[in-house]
A and B are shown apart, each in its own frame.
Chain A
Amino acid sequence: MLDPKSASAGEKIVTIPFDQPRIDGFPDWFVERKNLAWDKALALPFPARTDQGWRFSSLRATKLDGAVLTQPEFDTDEVLSKSQACKTTSGKMVFVNDTCIHQSGAAEGLQLLTLEEALESHGDLLKEHFMNRQPELGSQKYLAMHEALVQTAAVCLVPKNLELNGPIEIFRWQAGEKVASFPHTLIIAEPNSKVTVVEHFCSLANEQGGHVFGVNDVVAMEGSKICYIGVQDWSFRTTAFHINSSELHRDSSVTHLVMNLGGSAIRGESISRLMGPGSRSDMLALNVAEAEQEYDQRTLQDHVSPDTNSDLLYKNVLADKARTIFSGLIMVQPGAHRTDAYQKARNLLLSDEAEANSMPGLEILADDVRCSHGATSGELDATELFYMLSRGISEAEARRLIAFGFLNEALLRLPNHETELVEMLTARLEAHLARRPASLD
């Protein structure tokens, strides 16, 4: 299928380099949806630079040259032994590409299911919530492709009134050269439940590059609390889409945090849809962009109902020739009165070749609202650096400390009770920054 837009622009003609494989073991309605999605994926044009949703992007993540749909071989025991992060957990799932190799859920009533299982036991729930939200931040084609090709998923159903103490951990391992994978996570928290989910995205071999098209959707029913954390550490040759949509009903709250460390070009999209009064969404990101990495993040805080609250904080540290793009929109729909919405994007540039693009946006169609946004780009504070040097801290260490402190602000916004989790993430960030002694100069 040729894309008329890019062809007319004189660019290289690109296609989806694989066919939709035969679908087995899914109910008819689901197969039908997958087939429709495949037609849509073929029909939709590839993104172009002139699309507003792709402004400033290099489009690197959209290139599929040589991508394949094969299942590589791996050593299950080895993968499982690597899949450890939090000490106490309420459940765990481990995937290699599109295969689930481990699942365990300890807590009573908690359902931690693969897609196949969930379709069997909770068909109606999936009919309602599986990829049923309108994608609108630019990756429609890739979302359709995901829907058509998704093989399995982590479906997490938290029953009414259940409050889980330890986090649920999901490990996503990417294996094989140029292999495309479609990780999918769906969290549904029933009324007044509470759950924290940590998802780790890693490559089995650092020298292998893959193509990831991931979706993580969150549904918070009345009065529930969801905390989702995605730690992205793909190999330096992997391109990835991570697309999130959160739906918040009355009095619910969702905290959605992503930490981007790896990957070559990462496209992140995150939508928070505040559907019920009293709901609150926190959207957080901390990104360390170095070498020639590109982190392209687009967000939407969609206030549908009156009396809702959203707060976004995205922080980028940029070194080497890295590029970041932040495009965020606060949308206050007609009638969504008494909205409180905030958005802050901050960039710390550590090198002369780095580039930070910020597009904070507001669209306000209601009144009696309080909305503000801010975006800053700057360098290391010379006085802070001097202070540390004068106390005998080496320059490399001082720069690392400042970068760490800058990013840490986002981790400190996580819910108070998640102390162990914050420690784990802090250690992870520190280790990443310490990895290259002279990396941050």
Chain B
Amino acid sequence: MATAPTNLNIDRNVGNFLYPEQHTRDAGRGLTSKTIDYIVNVKEEPEWIRDFRMKALKIFQEKPMPTHWATNDLENIVFDNIRYYLSRGDTKRTWDEVPDDVKETFERLGIPEQERKFLAGVEAQFDSEAAYSNVKEALSDQGVIFVGSTEGLVKYPELFKKWFGKVIPTGDNKFSALNSAVFSGGSFIYVPPGVKVKHPLQAYFRINAENFGQFERTLIIADEGSEVTYMEGCTAPKFESSTLHSAVVELVAMPRAKIQYITVQNWSSNVFNLVTKRGLAHEEAEIKWIDCNIGSRLTMKYPGVIMKGRKARGEVISIALAGDDQHQDTGAKMVHAADETTSNIVSKSISIGTGRSTYRGLVHVPKHLKNCKNNTECDALLINQGSRTDTYPAITVRGTGNACQHEASVSQVSAEQIFYMMQRGLTEAQAMSLSVNGFVNDLVRQFPMEYSVELKRLIELEMEGSVG
């Protein structure tokens, strides 16, 4: 190859700043039943939640690390060192009430500005609890609920209890059990039948304390015929020691409802990002995960859709960028559980320097279903000699009348392309950046405008320092 760029480093610095800790509530280090009692008492949660958490703690302690298939890097998480709950009081409804340093944090990340410009509602989580949460009046008048998970379970127990922990059972995996034991923050969203939320709702997750574990829990219910788009962004400053982020996100799309869930993950490069995300799509409902992973040390995330009703549809669009010492282990799960269900997975990854990106997929079409279709495409781009990429899909099809296809390819930036562009006066870095942008362009366009512009900028910044 003509180009041998070195020292690629993405601009992960947008989020790399921090304010001194001023927590009034702190559960200390390590995880025991006392930690759970502390969280339940401080948050004034009902007793059924205490039981739920205690059961989850037991499952978490019993379950082994999934290292028989996953990376051994998981062994480096020291659960006893982690601080499981840190907060400083209640969620505010206006930015004026939010403490200055927290407000400044989100100002620097551009959240209030974006809220004014194009968002229908915002929740900003600082460590364990939301510092700010607001939804436009017009929406709340229509009955749309957008609150934190604690407020959701206290104020709307009938709605909340019906689906909480049903899409992702506590024992689904070790980290969903951990989240169930110590969850705090995250969003609860309910969209009433027929309501179409035009502008996206946004949540922003910020870790500000060292050795902190963030365990937000999100539950989104879109009732019959409704539509909603949810976006989440994540950042953390770069600490000396590693930080854990382990969320559980459950989506429920009732008949004919549509949910779009967009993530732009830009954690600093020492965050373990181990997230369980799954949606349940009823008849003719549609769930679409749009997922972009740029940051973190290790991300393990396989958004899934269970297509439970006839003609339900699931989709995962995923972009992963693995830089030096990063491992993006991402993928998708599609479980077809009714006739005429269709799913689509498109995954593109870029490995730079010593980065490693992995696609892990599962497609399941059980017995006696008719006309189920799955399409999977995975493309990987390798930039340097030390870059690595893996693909591990598993596809099970039973019976006739269904069609599944999987395709994957691995390639490099073509030397001819770079030569062509340089010959026309572009620098090598510009040419690389253009080429890489071209590789992900069709996916980037699926993100909302503001995000796609941002993504392009991130990739350009990355390539700037790339050719040495």
Q: Which of A355, A360, A367 contacts B398 (CB 8 A)?
A: A355
Q: Please measure, in the bound complex, the distance between the C-alpha atom of A359 and the C-alpha atom of B394, giving whole angstroms.
A: 4
CB distance from A419 to the nearest CB of B (A): 33
Q: A378-B404, A379-B402 are in contact. Are A352 and B391 (CB under 8 A)?
A: no
6 A-B pairs with least C-beta separation:
A377-B397, A372-B409, A352-B399, A379-B400, A362-B391, A358-B395
Q: Return chain A residues, CB-CB under 8 Å to B411.
A: 369-370
CB distance from A148 to the nearest CB of B (A): 28
User: Does chain A have a CB within 8 A of B380?
Assistant: yes
From DSSP, what is the main secondary structure of chain B's interface residues? Answer: strand
CB distance from B214 to the nearest CB of A (A): 30
User: Does chain A have a CB within 8 A of B149?
Assistant: no
Contact B393 A364 (CB under 8 A): no
- Of B54-62, B163-171, B381-389, the one contacting chain A is B381-389
Q: Which of B383, B387, B394 contacts A358 (CB 8 A)?
A: B394
Most chain A beta-carbon neighbours within 10 Å: one of B368, B393, B397: B397
CB distance from A362 to the nearest CB of B (A): 4
13 A-B residue pairs with Cβ-Cβ distance under 8 Å, sorted by A, are A352-B400, A354-B398, A356-B397, A361-B392, A362-B380, A368-B1, A369-B412, A370-B410, A375-B395, A375-B405, A376-B405, A377-B403, A378-B403
Q: Please measure, in the bound complex, the distance between the C-alpha atom of A50 and the C-alpha atom of B67, giving whole angstroms.
A: 12
CB distance from B100 to the nearest CB of A (A): 49
Q: Which residue of B lies closest to A366 (CB)?
A: B385
Q: Please measure, in the bound complex, the distance between the C-alpha atom of A51 and the C-alpha atom of B289, giving whole angstroms.
A: 30
User: Does chain A have a CB within 8 A of B406?
Assistant: yes
Q: Please measure, in the bound complex, the distance between the C-alpha atom of A272 and the C-alpha atom of B42, giving whole angstroms.
A: 61
Q: Return chain B residues, CB-CB under 8 Å to A359.
A: 392-395
Contact A347 B397 (CB under 8 A): yes
Q: A52-B68, A357-B396 are in contact. Are A373 and B391 (CB under 8 A)?
A: yes
Q: Please measure, in the bound complex, the distance between the C-alpha atom of A376 and the C-alpha atom of B373, giving whole angstroms.
A: 11
User: Does chain A have a CB within 8 A of B390?
Assistant: yes
User: Does chain B have a CB within 8 A of A56?
Assistant: yes
Q: A349-B400, A355-B396, A357-B395 are in contact. Are A374 and B410 (CB under 8 A)?
A: no
Contact A374 B398 (CB under 8 A): no
User: Does chain B have a CB within 8 A of A129?
Assistant: no
Interface footprint category on B: 35 or more
User: Does chain A have a CB within 8 A of B49?
Assistant: no
User: Does chain A have a CB within 8 A of B48?
Assistant: no
Q: Return chain A residues, CB-CB under 8 Å to B442.
A: none
Q: Return chain A residues, CB-CB under 8 Å to B409.
A: 370-372
Chain B 390-443 residues near chain A, CB threshold 8 A: 390-412
Contact B406 A352 (CB under 8 A): no
Q: Which of A349, A364, A371, A373 contacts B397 (CB 8 A)?
A: A349
Q: Please measure, in the bound complex, the distance between the C-alpha atom of A365 and the C-alpha atom of B411, giving whole angstroms.
A: 12
User: Does chain A have a CB within 8 A of B367?
Assistant: yes
Q: A367-B385, A374-B407, A378-B403 are in contact. Are A361 and B395 (CB under 8 A)?
A: no
Q: Return chain A residues, CB-CB under 8 Å to B400.
A: 349-352, 354, 379-380
User: Does chain B have a CB within 8 A of A124?
Assistant: no
Q: Which residue of B lies closest to A331 (CB)?
A: B390
User: Does chain B have a CB within 8 A of A40?
Assistant: no
Contact B388 A364 (CB under 8 A): yes
Q: A349-B397, A358-B406, A373-B407 are in contact. Are A367 and B412 (CB under 8 A)?
A: yes
Interface footprint category on A: 35 or more
Write out, one digit per residue, whether chain B residues 345-373 have a CB within 8 A of any chain A CB (1) or not (0). Answer: 00000000000000000000001100000
Q: Please measure, in the bound complex, the distance between the C-alpha atom of A373 and the C-alpha atom of B400, giving whole angstroms.
A: 23
Beyond A358-B394, A362-B391, 20 extra complex contacts between A and B, CB < 8 Å: A353-B399, A356-B395, A357-B394, A357-B395, A357-B396, A359-B394, A360-B393, A360-B406, A362-B380, A362-B390, A363-B388, A366-B385, A369-B382, A370-B411, A372-B409, A372-B410, A373-B391, A373-B408, A375-B393, A376-B405
Chain A 2-57 residues near chain B, CB threshold 8 A: 50-52, 55-56
CB distance from A147 to the nearest CB of B (A): 26
Contact B367 A353 (CB under 8 A): yes
Contact A377 B368 (CB under 8 A): no
CB distance from A372 to the nearest CB of B (A): 4
Q: A352-B400, A369-B410, A375-B405 are in contact. Are A364 and B389 (CB under 8 A)?
A: yes
Q: Please measure, in the bound complex, the distance between the C-alpha atom of A374 and the C-alpha atom of B408, giving whole angstroms.
A: 6
Q: Please measure, in the bound complex, the distance between the C-alpha atom of A379 and the C-alpha atom of B373, giving whole angstroms.
A: 12
Q: A351-B400, A352-B367 are in contact. Are A375 and B406 (CB under 8 A)?
A: yes
Q: Please measure, in the bound complex, the distance between the C-alpha atom of A299 and the C-alpha atom of B333, giving whole angstroms.
A: 24
Contact A55 B368 (CB under 8 A): no
Q: Return chain A residues, CB-CB under 8 Å to B387.
A: 367
Q: Which residue of B lies closest to A351 (CB)?
A: B400
Q: Please measure, in the bound complex, the distance between the C-alpha atom of A360 and the C-alpha atom of B398, giving whole angstroms.
A: 18
Q: Please measure, in the bound complex, the distance between the C-alpha atom of A355 and the C-alpha atom of B388, giving whole angstroms.
A: 33
Q: Please measure, in the bound complex, the distance between the C-alpha atom of A365 and the C-alpha atom of B356, giving whole angstroms.
A: 9
Contact B380 A364 (CB under 8 A): yes
Contact A354 B399 (CB under 8 A): yes
CB distance from A425 to the nearest CB of B (A): 27
Q: Return chain B residues, CB-CB under 8 Å to A375.
A: 393, 395, 404-406
Write out, one digit per residue, whether chain A residues 188-208 have a CB within 8 A of any chain B CB (1) or not (0). Answer: 000000000000000000000
Contact A362 B398 (CB under 8 A): no
CB distance from B213 to the nearest CB of A (A): 28
Write out, one digit per residue, whether chain B residues 1-18 have a CB within 8 A of any chain A CB (1) or not (0). Answer: 100000000000000000
